[in-house]
Structure 1
């Protein structure tokens, strides 16, 4: 078990900047390289599970709990809360975009169980998280929507298509400007971390259309105007407010 946990922790640390290559033209190659370099620990775990007398399913929960506990220990050793939160967001991103897809791909018989145990163990250590599993194919296909969760939901509620002018303008702003600014990647990481849950919680409400209209009028429409007039810094400030305001209202 010691060698296996070391392999899983090495895999978790291998992706130093999960935002950097999470793009349509680079993600697949990075994911396949991740599987090539770290896939043995996933395969070994499944083999161990399948050879167990009781099906070995307890090993899945044990491994998940050990990984979450070791990460919690690592985060507690960091000096500042901001550092801990940023690192946790990086880990969340690695789990969703590399770890979980690799488990589902390389552990055909026990991968789903392992991912479920990981989500439970992670939630126990980090109650504020709300991770969701996805396969590599689902994630890679998602680049057609380019992961603008909130803006896509808002535009959909307003009858706009996924390739509408507004969405493409905001996506290009994110990729070409925001990601290159100081703290820009941190903001994008936070957005990826919380946006799917925010959209899910808004969609459960009877007044979701009213909420999306308010997000459009308060944040997105002014952001678009700022971009059109070359006021990129002002757009970033308002975009930042949107992420934190929506987190406080619908995520906490």
Structure 2
């Protein structure tokens, strides 16, 4: 009976998290995380106990399988290939930003620690089945929150990192100066920066989980970032602004949650 209750609780944890995926933004993440934590407290307490050193390994294995198998079953029930592919990104994001961090949070109490045996095994099963074909990795609430707080050129940094360019490369330095010396000098520019910081970390996470991430980043470099740099060099700063907005909107529509 207890195992059945835990299984139901795990399925509820996944469904609740999926329902609130559109709240994964800088301004709403902390509050949404706590809502999910409180709303699934009983289940999370059971999972925390399952991660103790003297816990039953068979019980832990059973818990680790519930969500991956449940998610795969839900996806297998979707007949439309296009709709199913859209859910691939949503399901992986749900696991990465809510489910895995929630389980780690319940065990480690908001420390940077990751890798408890339950989440390690859950991730292994998710990737082995595979549930979506996208790569799922360890994550924690604290690390995600610190990512939201860091004022970085997220997308440009991800693109340059994918191309093995250093953090002080010409492209990054040019766009940072453009941000600080041009956009940040006006109210509309500051608002644009805030909106960017609200969604860009999530976009980078979503793209980073895809098997074709290197190809996506190379396309962004050729079609958006390099043209933006050329516009800045020609002092066409407003044209650069419009092109960068187009890039962010296209990424959000194509790769972020449905």
Q: Is TM (by shorter chain) over 0.5? A: yes
TM-score by structure 2 length? Answer: 0.67
**Residue correspondence of structure 1 range 1-252 to structure 2 within 5 A:** 1-16=3-18, 18-48=20-50, 50=52, 55-108=55-108, 112-126=116-130, 128-145=133-150, 149-153=154-158, 154=160, 156=167, 158-159=169-170, 160=172, 164-165=176-177, 176=195, 191-195=204-208, 216-222=221-227, 228-229=238-239, 231=242, 235-236=246-247
Contact 1:61 1:114 in 2 (8 A): yes
Unpaired segments ≥5 residues, structure 1 = 180-184, 203-210, 245-252
Looking at structure 2, the residues matched to 162 and 44 of structure 1 have their Cα atoms a distance apart, in angstroms, of: 50
2:149 aligns to what SS in structure 1? coil
Instruction: Report the Cα offset of residue 47 of structure 1.
Output: 2.7
Per the alignment, do residues 234 and 141 of structure 1 end up closer, same or farther by CA in structure 2, a change over 3 Å counting? closer
Looking at structure 1, the residues matched to 48 and 206 of structure 2 have their Cα atoms a distance apart, in angstroms, of: 28
Q: What is the root-mean-square deviation of aligned Cα atoms in Å?
A: 4.3
Instruction: Report the Cα offset of residue 128 of structure 1.
Output: 2.2
Per the alignment, do residues 215 and 121 of structure 1 end up closer, same or farther by CA in structure 2, a change over 3 Å counting? same
Instruction: Report the Cα offset of residue 60 of structure 1.
Output: 1.9
Looking at structure 2, the residues matched to 198 and 147 of structure 1 have their Cα atoms a distance apart, in angstroms, of: 24
Unpaired segments ≥5 residues, structure 2 = 184-188
Per the alignment, do residues 131 and 219 of structure 1 end up closer, same or farther by CA in structure 2, a change over 3 Å counting? same
Aligned residues, how many? 224
Looking at structure 1, the residues matched to 248 and 100 of structure 2 have their Cα atoms a distance apart, in angstroms, of: 33
Per the alignment, do residues 197 and 75 of structure 1 end up closer, same or farther by CA in structure 2, a change over 3 Å counting? closer
2:102 aligns to what SS in structure 1? helix
Higher relative contact order (CA 8 A, sep 6+): 2
Instruction: Report the Cα offset of residue 105 of structure 1.
Output: 1.5
Looking at structure 2, the residues matched to 42 and 4 of structure 1 have their Cα atoms a distance apart, in angstroms, of: 9
